[in-house]
Structure 1
């Protein structure tokens, strides 16, 4: 489950074409995978978009490389200090967070909260925010193993069993994979469903069985499709990109009503069928725009659009630029420099 309250106040989750900078305060004995769960979806979004949508900076309490539980130190970009910066601050912690919860650090977090547009507790970082009294009277989540202890230790905080919680200027997550879910949600809210879907493909897939003859559909990677009927519907969508199935026909082939299929999609992946279907087609089209020299009319036809103009309108609405702008911008970046004369 995902918990939202006062979502409109969360500038992190608003549609924007501006670059988003994030500061990560990483505490000792943090897992590598927890750091990666924040950074890698953002890196993937930058790579797929071909532009710097996100930039991050790793800070530590003393500016020194941070030791992790994997015995691999992470270099720091600087020391965490209280400034008037409004950049969102993510506090990352895994094990033995109490060693870092010094009066000085708690005071720094409390002072930083006056300026930061968002402060996030990532996994055990939630405990640090609670210690600094930054979660009083608000819902918050922690790792499932710590839920009872957290609820007992901080009765002034509304402990909830959700994957992540967004409440105004506070955000908490319950572990590494929920943090990936959070970052995908940030990308979806800021850049749209299509880009978030493409980023999710970089990280995980759901394979229905171990039979070698079972096809792997990469386009649906990263989705938590709890209902096999949704999985079947997504596969049918992927098989019918050039000639999209109308919702009623798609539902009939699954064996449910169109209304019920809409409900299943909303419950399973948080988006209606038409939104997911359009994202699949647009992502396929975008890859063709970047990787081929096909005309936009041919790409439109190959991805189920009635005309090049209809394709261009939908493409711009999703990616905030035209197909020609994407092709020119990204190809300019990968063109080799002319040899010296």
Structure 2
């Protein structure tokens, strides 16, 4: 199981990099291992980079890394971490899938960073396991793999599977690994080297609190937005939103105008359109299914709203997608 003491040291970990992997997730996973060795004064871990064909491979930021060898070497490792990133949901390589399944049959602990859960799911390696994925990919993952239990946790460890939501969450997952294997004192010392004030556990939130994301602290406004985020498929009407927060409709309108410079209705539509864009680019759902999943009553109404906001129709978006930026709630309020 991931986190058990290895049979011998150093524990050899294979990092399988796929095109456009997330550099921050990768380095956040590797650097705690390096510092654990340094602080402990001995080699507890060794790490080895592999790519599908053994050739240099680009991260999503354009930096090129040179691996030690091709994917077929992963069967020689007891711990395998698949590193993915931009467009991980599109990755297809039957040879990689087969090799991962072979490593699983040999008893390896297999995990993934960022969007790598999509790839493990395609390889049929998450059936019967709990997993997590970056918050921006969670809705599309649930649509693509409804039979798999996906959570919004920072990271998940389920027997010999481990998944991480990405970014600096990989740092916390590896610090928890170090703590479990070699003690909290060592993990805390490594965390301090990173000037990382505390080691988060898996239950910490992936996303910033709404107050921090929006720069707004009005509790009733935050309560309304929380209701909106929780009800995208079946939008609540204005009166229900206001009543749940203890406001009149007029008071709610004034709060949105003062702090977010738009009406509640407009803000709600933009939330739903951002969700729709993620589903269009990350799933094979039909346009009408995307529309219904995001609370639009018809494909024509959805297409008009989408074109007005993004400058292209949903079908054109899917035909000529632009790189999908990491979106925050702040972008919806900009």
RMSD: 2.1
Q: 1:137 aligns with which of 128, 138, 161?
A: 128
* Unmatched runs of 5 consecutive residues or more in structure 1: 1-9, 206-220, 227-341
**1:186 aligns to 2:171 (yes or no):** no
Distance 2:75 2:88 in 1: 26
Q: Which runs of 5+ in 2 are unaligned?
A: 205-334
- Correspondence list, 1:237-252, <5 A: none
Q: What SS does the corresponding residue of 1:56 show, helix, strand or coil?
A: strand
User: What residue in structure 2 maps to residue 167 of structure 1?
Assistant: 158
Correspondence list, 1:245-284, <5 A: none
Q: Distance in 2 between matches of 1:85 and 1:141?
A: 26
- The size of the alignment, in residue pairs, is 202
SS of residue in 2 equivalent to 1:34: helix
Task: Write out per-residue CA displacement over residues 90-147 of structure 1, whole angstroms, 9 at most, x where no aligned residue.
Answer: 0010012245322222222222211142000111111110001111122110001111
Which consecutive segments of 4 or more residues in structure 1 shift more than 6 A?
none
What pairs with 1:7-46 in structure 2 (closer than 5 Å)? Answer: 10-14=1-5, 18-46=9-37
1:53 to 44, 68, 87: 44
TM-score of the superposed pair, with normalisation by structure 2: 0.57
The answer to whether residue 221 in structure 2 is matched with residue 200 in structure 1 is: no
For residue 233 of structure 1, what is the aligned residue in structure 2? none
Equivalent in the alignment of 2:101: 110
Distance 1:83 1:43, change over 3 A: closer
Is 2:137 the partner of 1:149?
Answer: no
Q: Which residue of 2 aligns with 1:5?
A: none
The residue that corresponds to 1:123 in the other structure is: 114
Task: Check the 8 A contact 2:74/2:80 in 1, yes or no.
Answer: no
Residues 255-314 of structure 1: CA distance to partner in whole angstroms, max 9, x if unpaired? xxxxxxxxxxxxxxxxxxxxxxxxxxxxxxxxxxxxxxxxxxxxxxxxxxxxxxxxxxxx
Pick closer, same or farther for the CA change 1:17–1:132 going to 2, 3 Å. Answer: closer
Contact conserved, 1:86 with 1:117, CA < 8 A, in 2? Answer: yes
Check the 8 A contact 2:117/2:133 in 1, yes or no. Answer: yes
Q: 1:151 to 1:179 in 2, by over 3 A?
A: same
More deviation, 69-78/96-105: 96-105
The match for 2:91 among 83, 100, 109 is: 100
Q: 1:97 to 1:223 in 2, by over 3 A?
A: closer
Q: Helix, strand or coil for the counterpart of 2:112? A: strand
Shift of 1:78: 0.7
Distance in 2, Cα, partners of 1:154 & 1:202: 39
- Residues 126 and 142, structure 1, Cα contact 8 Å, conserved in 2: yes
Give me the whole-angstrom Cα distance separating, in 1, the residues matched to 2:157 and 2:29. 16
Q: Identify if the C-alpha distance between structure 1 residues 47 and 100 changes in structure 2 by more than 3 Å, giving closer, same or farther.
A: same
Instruction: State the alpha-carbon separation in 2 of the partners of residues 193 and 12 from structure 1.
Output: 13
* Residue from 64, 67, 71 that aligns with 2:58: 67
TM-score of the two chains, using structure 1 as the length reference:
0.56
